[in-house]
Structure 1
Amino acid sequence: MIMRIMLTILMIGILLLSACTIDVKPSQTEHPKPPRLPQISGKGEPPLSQDELNGTQELRKFSSAAELAEFLSRNQPVTGYGYDSGMMRGDVIEASMNMVAGAPMMEKSLGAGAGASEYSETNVQVEGVDEADIVKNDGKYIYTLSGNKLVIIDAYPAENAEIVSETEIKGQPKNLFVNGDRLVVFSQDNENVLVFQEFDIIPRPRYTQETHAYIYDISDRSDPDLVADFTLKGAYFQSRMIGDYVYFITKENVYYYSHFVDMPVLKESGKTIIRPEVYYFDNPEDQYMFHTIASINIQDEDEADAKTYMLGYSNNMYVSKNNIYITYQKNFPMWYTQNYNKERFYDVVLPLLPRDIQKKINDISEDESLNSYEQWDKISSVLQDMYNEMDEDDKEDFIEEMMKAVQEYDLKFEKERRKTVIHKIAIDDGMIEYEAKGEVPGSLLNQFSMDEHGDYFRVATTMSIWTRSGGSETYNNVYIMNKDLDIVGSIEDIAPGERIYSTRFIGDRLYMVTFKRVDPLFVIDLSDPENPEILGKLKIPGYSDYLHPYDENHIIGVGKETGTNQWGGTSIRGVKLALFDVSDVENPEQIDKYEIGEAGTDSEALRDHKAFLFDKEKNLLVIPIREVKGRYYDGERGYYRNRVWQGAYVFEVTENGFRKKGKISHGEEDDQYYWGSPSAVRRSLYMDNVLYTISAKYVKMNDLSDLDEINEVELPYDRNYYPRPVYY
């Protein structure tokens, strides 16, 4: 009896919710449909037709700021996004967007003086594509960002290491590149401008984000000379350097004010040099963002270019030597979700109703003498009467059939909504040109979920779905796309119930780690793009957050160990290093592991591959560690605290496994009690046989043979620049 009451309530709720919304887009099904669905808002037809909502899927370019403003004004009722306060500022009132051509590049200058015969470089994903970081070195000097300063250290030989210059950077320094005698620092700052609201008598202040690319001539390391200051509106996203060309991307919410748009601009030393052309797709997004890509020749500040693409909100990017791939989760405009329940009612529920009930509902919907509320009042009465006339068995059968149909519909909708959009943009010696757009089901974890190989682009995704009707699915996929980003091969439904924790594409193989209770490592063959296949898998406790090739037959994993807790569930333990032998692709095996610390132990290398130092020739592996090991009673504060150590773990690694060589710390144990501590080691590098570890406080130098300390340089960090203590 209770079950029947619950089913009754459930069915009525679904019927009511399925039709109680404002608008609806036309359906493609063949069952009877009213020519005009109820418009509860009383505003008539939706702001855009269905064809306009779908768009042409072709790349278009705005010819003027006025055209862009008109597009946003037309789409704002659909997306619920944008501002219309009558403000104007600076370049906002410009009506055209003409691109300024750059000058030819100069010859690359010579680098620093005599240094180490061998030295490490930033750990990057794609060979030949440098990634900006907080620390760089050239075998002689170390360049690091300490607080809001650029610090240059004459680091070789280590015995004589010293700071040779400190340069204050305006704003919040993010990353840097070094190229011979040129250096670029990316810094994010807020621009304070005065704007006039409509019919206001005085200007009002407004803050907008902007990203600076400060280019320095460092021929004299003791006195860096600022030679250019390129500024892009928006927040710093990512950057890459290929040869002498630096590409950096900013993201900015699209704001418009009455008939004016706050347009992207590229400035040099405060002067506008480029107003980038703005490209877009005519299908509306829920949230528009300007993605402005600027290219500058680090050796010739007169050579620059920029283009802007108005896309959805992005969170991942992959860059090869020839292309930039920007990705984001598909964003349906608010209009879609506002009408979802009504569309589901007509697509799913109505066809399941008796024909006479369908006719009554359609007749009511076609009655234009009734407003939308009156129409729904009559429709709901018809549904109530129908339900009351059913016997109990018919009710249960009907509910079961309806729930199944609704869940299938919800899953189909959610799969479409949870697709990832991929935009491919070609780059070549500073040139920027849009190439293609594609979509794949599921979401990407990070940049290592993507890879360009020859004429193909490969991605690994996780599909996680929770529907309104209570259904859920989680599984993983691999897709191979051609140069036009059309899917040509795929493997779907991998490891149901689990999600991807790490992936690494290496040649014709993909190594993928998923996790729920154990860590399956999949070896996937991609040699035939149209027919990828799983060759083998290994299931072990724990998981890897980052995978790094040791050689063609061995993979290093860095992640967390797991165990079974007292309730039979899975508990996360310390940081784990794992070495996998994949020479037998059908039977990969873990040949060694090393666990560090207890639950709560962490490493920046789990989230940022640039914190991972590996050199096969030196058998060297170094990772930063925040190690939790035991607890003690803090009498001053009156509670127990974790005993925490922060520093770097140094390993010798061979194809047989790991051997800990030692640990290096930048502070006393009592100082390591909070996240973001200036004593935390962030990066490590080597020059010849010296290991350099870098925190906000120090650069320490240790002999790689025995880890004996050689020297240390104290950095000019400001304790107030770092986060407040978080006790644990």
Structure 2
Amino acid sequence: MNSKIFIAVVAAIAVVGSFGMFLAMMSTSSSPPTPYIVPPNAFDDTLPISVEGSQELKKFSSYEELKNYLQTTQIAQDQYYRDFGPGHFREGESVALDRTVSPVPWNSGEEMPSPAAEPSSDGVKTGSSPPGYSTTNVQVKNVDEPDFIKNDDKYAYIVSGDKLTIIEAYPAESAKIVLKVGLDIPQGQSLQNIFLNKDRLVIFYQSFQEADYIPEYGFAPSKIYSNLTHIVVMDVSDKQNAKILKDYSVNGYYHNARMIGNIVYLISIAEVNHYQPILPLIREDAKIIANPDVFYFDNPEQYYNFNTVTALDIFEDKLNSETFMMGGAGTIYMSEDNLYITYQKNLPYRYYQVQEKNRFFNAIVPVLPSQTQQKIKEITSDSSLNESQKWNQVSDLLQNTYNTMPQSEKSKLFEKIQSAINEYELKIQQESLKTVIHKIALNSGQLKYFAKGEVPGRLLNQFSMDESGNRFRIATTSEYYGHRTILHNNVYVLDENLSRVGALEQIAKDENIYSARFMGDRLYLVTFQRVDPFFVIDLSTDTPKILGELKIPGFSQYLHPYDENHVIGIGRDTKENQWGGVQTEGVKIALFDVTDVSKPSSVDVEIIGKQGTDSEVLSDHKAMLFDKQKGILSIPISNYDYNPQPYVDGRYVEPKTWRGFYVFGVDSSGFTLKGKIEHSNSTGYEYYGYGSRSFYIDDTLYTVSSNLMKMNAISDLHEINQLKFRDDGKLVQYID
């Protein structure tokens, strides 16, 4: 076969996968793009993955050390993309990068005083400080989560836009707004979330820092902007004269927060500029009060972020903060002792560079004729040849091998090579698609990095994680694509150092995790494809095992404990459509009985609405109110008329959307609809603000939407009062 025929064959193969592209590159390039190095295990059957480094946690001793480290990794990565990433960089072009100066001198090793924690309540107040009241629905007892509304036994605090509204909610008959003030925040920004602790209110919002800088070797000043996350501590002991005590800011955007006792923990994220990084700083008003130490790992990542964890005692005004340069923080989980930060693994640039070589030697070469394999081994072992010469000889050998083959034999070989590549790349995905877990010990506000670990797959949400004693449990979904798709779910048990000590893999093949809930020594897991498998998994030992499962139509997207033998599931109903597929329907509430773990059963199911019905609980657990003692469950519902009659007497009529709350009585035998509380029932667009929440004080149920608070008796839901708290057209007092 002449060279033209060979090139034509290669072009035909290119459509079936990356091997065609690989061969085309070999046939048109006289020298390799990078030095050719044969891996030590070039002809082994094992899969070489060596990108971990020592994983030793290190601390930068100076700003220059950090800057040099980043520039070194960036230069190497830029070179890789010039060689392997057509379209990203071309020789002679420069990369446009923001260049900024370090805001303050480095001051490594300086520590701020550490706060002391106080015991926290369990989230439901009864008896000791009547009247009893509910608080935010959280995942972990004694670990509060931020929300746009908080309440105590008398007042409710709501943030929306730039406004804080304080409502004297109890008694309901005389409920009134006692304060509505605006905070002077940047235009377009909103007050995001709040914590309430006795007479302290903590508010988070974002702003931007503006600075002048001159680019390297330039002369004209330019502007650069970076995100700041503010922690505002207010004294609300005098409700009508709330005062700002502290306004702290941290470089980076708000990611998440928790509160344990008197200590608020904030996680903020700032992107890293490799050439002139802006270090995260802590400011009080405009004054810099701390520059956190910056920690890193010795294995370069493809994308870096400064993940800053700040611990603030809101009563003692003590603050501690550390920055970890790693991938951007994703889902977090916090116990009373530890913070776990997770994200999907980003492999460094060098991994892909090595992978192409490994793929050739571990997937392609073993399929070639044995004589060709032997000659490749001889060439790569010849110490008299440099790397470029070796590669040229290998390329010529491959072309000669293909040119001497009959067409049918060559086609079969290419099919075998493509199949080997497919299997190899599937193994690569299984090794690389992982969730990274970082563990930071809290120790009453004294932050200390503890361990790093990895598990295969991806997380659904925070409820996929749990800490029990010195064990960390995590549920993931593994999904790999290629010539075939692999989908299954896993449960892993890690020790205190985040080393894997137990696993249960390949649960519910071809299905995704839709909800998870750890309760003591059990995990309740819901997966879905056409029906809802509800799994009960034993975690009493380091070897997880499935105790039982239940298959029913629909699926649960949120699981909540009722008691040790019953679990509430909230999700969607489903039915088979006319084409044989699965169609989602209304919101489904189910009560599962797990008394007999080998045979879990469905005690009761309630279906709300049809297609077009939705609930915020499906995406935000804080929207649900459940109290076992009062036997009440309240969830927000929006019901869009999915099959309206659009024309009446020739006129178009917009479909209505009902928004409000469904309130159920709950006991171990199931649900009883107590009633519906309507907040709006209108057509067309309606601003609906942050969301909807329920809480109770004493025997009154409070339901809150964007502009309305309704107060109903828990006993029979008769309306006691209602209050609008937005857009009254009056002047808004701004705090100085």
Fold match (TM-score > 0.5): yes
Residue 500 of structure 1 pairs with residue 518 of structure 2: no
Aligned to 2:528: 515
* Partner residue in 1 for 2:58: 60
Q: What is the match of residue 179 of structure 2?
A: 165
- C-alpha displacement of 1:589: 1.2
Q: What residue number does 1:438 align with?
A: 453
Answering whether residue 254 of structure 2 is matched by residue 236 of structure 1, we say yes
Q: Give the TM-score of the pair, scaled to structure 2.
A: 0.86
The answer to whether structure 1 residue 263 and structure 2 residue 279 are counterparts is yes
Q: Name the residue aligned to 1:688.
A: 698
State the distance in 1 between where 2:117 and 2:644 align.
60
Q: Secondary structure at the match of 1:176?
A: strand
Q: Distance in 2 between matches of 1:666 and 1:497?
A: 41
Instruction: Tell me which residue corresponds to 1:644.
Output: 657
Long gaps (5+) in structure 1: 34-49, 720-728
In structure 1, distance between residues paired with 2:386 and 2:451: 48
The amino acid of 2:706's aligned partner reads A
Cα separation, partners in 2 of 1:104 and 1:186, compared to 1, 3 Å: closer
Q: Which residue of 2 aligns with 1:197?
A: 215
In the comparison of the two structures, how many residue pairs are matched? 685
Any conservation in 2 of the 1:79–1:285 contact (CA below 8 Å)? no
Residues in 1 aligned to 2:417 and 2:194: alpha-carbon distance in whole angstroms: 58
Percentage identity across paired residues of the two chains: 43
- What's 2:205 paired with? 187
Partner Cα separation in structure 2 for residue 424 and residue 714 of structure 1:
44
Counterparts in 2 of 1:29 and 1:107: CA distance versus 1, 3 Å: closer
Residue of structure 1 aligned with 2:68, choices 67, 70, 87: 70
Q: Does 1:707 align with 2:717?
A: yes
* Aligned CA distance change for structure 1 residues 237 and 14 (closer, same or farther; 3 Å): closer
Counterpart Cα distance in 2 of 1:704 and 1:388: 84
Name the CA distance, whole Å, in 2 between partners of 1:718 and 1:401. 73
8 Å contact from structure 2 (residues 248, 283) kept in 1: yes
Q: Distance in 1 between matches of 2:299 and 2:96?
A: 21
Give 2:269's aligned residue. 251
**486, 510, 526: which one aligns with 1:473:** 486
Report the more deviating stretch, 694-703 or 225-234: 694-703
Range with bigger deviation, 587-596 or 488-497: 587-596
Q: Give the match for residue 217 of structure 1.
A: 235
2:144 aligned with 1:130, yes or no?
A: yes
Please give the alpha-carbon distance, in whole angstroms, between the structure 1 residues aligned to 2:532 and 2:678: 31
CA RMSD, 1 decimal: 3.2
Q: Which residue of 1 aligns with 2:85?
A: none
State the TM-score, normalized to the length of structure 1: 0.87
Change in 2 beyond 3 A, CA 1:93/1:431: closer
The amino acid across from 1:77 in the alignment is I
The residue identity in structure 2 corresponding to 1:66 is E
Query: Aligned partners of 1:143, 1:534: CA distance in 2, in Å?
Result: 44
Q: Does the aligned pair in 2 maintain the 1:86–1:198 contact within 8 Å?
A: no
Contact kept? 1:249, 1:294, Cα under 8 Å = yes
Q: Give the SS at the match of 1:668.
A: strand
Q: Secondary structure at the match of 1:261?
A: coil
Aligned match of 1:155: 169
Q: Structure 2, unaligned stretches of length 5 or more? A: 1-8, 26-31, 82-93, 730-736
Q: Which residue of 2 aligns with 1:552?
A: 564
Distance of aligned partners of 1:697 and 1:25 in 2 relative to their CA distance in 1, 3 Å threshold: farther
Match of 2:13 in 1: 9
Q: CA 1:663 to 1:417, structure 2 compared with 1: closer, same or farther past 3 Å?
A: same
| Stretch moving more, 408-417 or 612-621 | 408-417
Change in Cα spacing, 1:25 to 1:232, as seen in structure 2 (3 Å) is farther
1:41 is aligned to none
CA distance in 2, matches of 1:225, 1:348: 68
Distance 2:546 2:417 in 1: 37
Deviation at 1:358, TM superposition (A): 3.5
The 8 Å contact of residues 146 and 716 in structure 1, kept in 2 or not, is answered as no
Question: Is the CA contact (8 Å cut-off) linking 1:503 and 1:547 kept in structure 2?
Answer: yes
Q: Does 1:593 align with 2:602?
A: no
CA contact (8 A) 2:74 2:274 kept: no
1-structure distance, mates of 2:17, 2:384: 26
Relative to structure 2, which stretch is displaced further, 381-390 or 133-142? Answer: 381-390
8 A contact 1:151–1:167 mirrored in 2: yes
Query: Which residue does 1:47 correspond to in 2?
Result: none
Deviation at 1:666, TM superposition (A): 2.1
Matched with 1:87 is: 99
Could you tell me how far apart the structure 1 residues matched to 2:438 and 2:305 are?
Answer: 14
Change beyond 3 A, Cα 1:349–1:540? same
Verify: 1:402 aligned to 2:417, yes or no: yes
Letter matched to residue 628 of structure 1 = Y
Which residue, out of 607, 610, 613, partners 2:619? 607
1:98, 1:274 within 8 Å by CA — same for their partners in 2?
A: no
CA distance in 2, matches of 1:107, 1:553: 32
Q: Deviations over 1:171-208 (max 9, x none)?
A: 42111111111110011122222222224334212221
**DSSP-derived class of the 1:71 partner:** helix
Question: Deviation at 1:388?
Answer: 4.3
Counterpart secondary structure, 2:140: coil
Contact 2:99/2:273 (<8 A) preserved: no
Q: Return the letter of the residue paired with 1:334.
A: Y
- The CA distance in 1 between the partners of 2:153 and 2:650, in whole Å, is 46
Structure 1 residue corresponding to 2:496, chosen from 459, 478, 483: 483
Partner of residue 468 from structure 2, selected from 453, 457, 462: 453
Find the aligned partners of 2:430 and 2:119 in 1 and give their Cα distance.
50
